[in-house]
Structure 1
Amino acid sequence: MKESRHGKPLLVVLTGGIASGKTAVSDQLAGKGVPVIDTDRIAREVVTPDSPGLQAVVKAFGPAVLDDNGNLDRAALRQEVFDDDSARRRLEAILHPLIESEARRRIDQHDNDAYVLLVVPLLIETGLFADADRVVVVDVPASTQIERLMARDDITREQAERMLAAQTDRQQRLAAATDVIENDGSLEQLRQRVDRLHEHLLALSSRRRNRSTRNP
């Protein structure tokens, strides 16, 4: 990770496997006034009807990826890139720069905050935001993810296992982490762990701003 400019808020990336509890963590921090930027939401926004992003996707994959109302048919697009690495790379080459550009525009709106939380579920897979100051991984055992997925999406164990297999290995995520939130207990335990993380990030931000003040 590259060191951020002095005086700027910490850029904190939150990631984790599917059904790990990223939303619970980001919601709690948002409740404390931390600005939260979710790249999944941005990914949907950059392909709204008539947007340059959607036009580029249609140019690359054809009008079959649109539904009858001119919206992106995500199921059809997934079918286009499923098990096709070259198609997936073409899609990423279109979307990732748009997502990163919009995310950074929003980050720049929060210069007076201690830190900005950027939610990037596929951080390891995409390689984006390598300049983050901290990488927070929400971690749970695979068995817990499977149980949560089965309950949340009403799917079979086999389907849940396939969804996990399609993501980055748990150990790869942990290897990239500067901070880990274990989410294998109760909601109260999670709340306490997030509180401790928040205080830690505030302290880091304060120290960096103090260094910047002493060394303008």
Structure 2
Amino acid sequence: MLQIGLTGGIGAGKSTVARRLAELGATVVDSDKIAREVVEPGTDGLAEIVAAFGGEVLAEDGSLNRPALAAKVFGHDENRARLNSIVHPRVRDRAVELTSKAPADGIVVQDIPLLVENGMAPAFHLVVVVDADVELRVRRLTTSRGMDEKDVRARIAAQASAEQRREAADVWLDNSGTEDETRAAVDELWHERLLPFERNVREGTYPERGGPKIVEYDEEWPRDARQLIARLKLAAGDKALRLDHIGSTSVPGLAAKDVIDLQLTVAGLDDADALAETLGRAGFPVLPAFTRDTPKATDPDPEHWRKRTHSSADPGRWANLHLRAVGSPGWRYALLFPAWLRADDAARADYEAMKREMATRFADIPSYGDGKEPWFAQADARAEAWAAATGWTPPL
């Protein structure tokens, strides 16, 4: 089952996207709808709200008087927190119940307006953010819903900023155009990314990635890494001693393959093996063929270089996860090498030139990797010399 978080600011058109996803076959869990259900007349949720805020939040028919409640909550942090403590657990429990009823091969879309504000992004395989220009959102809400413009702008200002949503977004859907354009974008997302992603998670497979194409440094790589790290930390729990962005994409300014490499530090490889199924369900199936690094020729115990490797099942983001035992040679080197490149401009330029050359000579990733080994053999002493000169040690 693939879990998608859907969010966006008020008036952005999130409901249009949710409707289309439902038409395509997704199970849509609407948190706004649930939030209304859990405070309907006769529910314990409504009774607790009345106990907390007084009988004046009730309408004449016994239902919740939402404007009266909003007047007590809006602009009052303590009251808002109290209301959230009543409503959010009930919404969460009902959402879990509805999700559990979805088919095992299903795609569940949880429509959550405050997903970013509540820090919920790591709980999903992907987060889809629907956005539109602020002025367009204001026009939509004042004309179609008859809302007061001042109220609309206050509500927009109280929600997450565009920058905060971009930090959480795996997919950014601009809904500033026509509804047909938005529906077409959703269709493409569904067929090109969500369906194959779900299949890969269910079957424990990953997409074919192609050859070693080198691209210019992308300013989005660190953000992509942060998103993946947050998800993997949540999945791995206390077995993850630390998670780091490693490899070429962790070095600012360095051209590289568009691959996010991450290292999950564990106490030992028994913990790595215990995490295999959990990480697979989180979207990172194991790569059984890749169980060790290439040890140094002088290393008396090559077994110290053993690791476990997983790869992202997401066809929209190539990422590899390397699980290594804390203190092992491979673990240390994976942290040392990018630290050295970040600090040494000449080494970084040298490495980039070599990578570009190897990418023109070899059409497949294994051959490309083998072709780089002579450079690594001579670079090892340079990296170690830099570590000794600067006092670098692995972060713990």
Question: Where does residue 5 of structure 1 map in the other structure?
Answer: none
1:207 correspondence with 2:200: yes
Give the match's secondary structure for 2:108. strand
1:192 correspondence with 2:178: no
Give the match's secondary structure for 1:123. coil
Structural mapping, 1:150-161, within 5 Å: 150-155=142-147, 157-161=149-153
Give the match's secondary structure for 1:125. coil
**Contact persistence 2:105–2:199 (CA under 8 A):** no
**Contact persistence 1:114–1:206 (CA under 8 A):** no
CA pair 77-118 structure 1, distance change in 2 beyond 3 A: same
Question: Where does residue 181 of structure 1 map in the other structure?
Answer: 173
Paired with 1:90 and 1:144, the residues of 2 have a C-alpha distance of 33
Give the match's secondary structure for 1:37. strand
How far the C-alpha of 1:101 sits from its partner, in A, is: 0.5
Structural mapping, 1:32-47, within 5 Å: 32-47=24-39
1:49 correspondence with 2:41: yes
Q: 1:109 aligns with which of 101, 105, 115?
A: 101
1:149 correspondence with 2:141: yes
**Contact persistence 1:40–1:120 (CA under 8 A):** yes
Higher Cα Rg: structure 1 or 2? 2
Structural mapping, 1:13-32, within 5 Å: 13-32=5-24
Give the match's secondary structure for 2:116. helix
CA pair 48-135 structure 1, distance change in 2 beyond 3 A: same
Task: Give the percent of matched residue pairs that are identical in Structure 1 and Structure 2.
Answer: 36
Greater than 6 Å deviation, 4+ residue runs:
212-215
**Contact persistence 1:114–1:202 (CA under 8 A):** no
How far the C-alpha of 1:126 sits from its partner, in A, is: 2.7
Q: Number of matched residues?
A: 207
Question: Where does residue 243 of structure 2 map in the other structure?
Answer: none
Deviations 1:45-89 (A, max 9, x none): 001112111111111112111122211111111111122110110
Query: Which structure exhibits the higher relative contact order, with contacts defined as CA atoms closer than 8 Å and separated by 6 or more residues?
Result: 1
1:86 correspondence with 2:78: yes
**Contact persistence 1:136–1:179 (CA under 8 A):** yes
Paired with 2:185 and 2:198, the residues of 1 have a C-alpha distance of 18
Paired with 1:131 and 1:163, the residues of 2 have a C-alpha distance of 26
How far the C-alpha of 1:155 sits from its partner, in A, is: 4.6
CA pair 17-84 structure 1, distance change in 2 beyond 3 A: same
Give the match's secondary structure for 2:18. helix
CA pair 116-58 structure 1, distance change in 2 beyond 3 A: same
**Contact persistence 2:105–2:202 (CA under 8 A):** no
Taking structure 2 as the reference length, the TM-score comes to 0.50
Moved more, 62-71 or 125-134: 125-134
**Aligned-partner residue type, residue 100 of structure 1:** R
Question: Unaligned regions of 5+ residues in structure 2, if any?
Answer: 205-279, 287-396
CA pair 113-209 structure 1, distance change in 2 beyond 3 A: closer
Question: Where does residue 67 of structure 1 map in the other structure?
Answer: 59
**Contact persistence 1:100–1:128 (CA under 8 A):** no
How far the C-alpha of 1:95 sits from its partner, in A, is: 0.7
Q: 1:132 aligns with which of 120, 124, 127?
A: 124
RMSD of equivalent CA atoms: 1.9
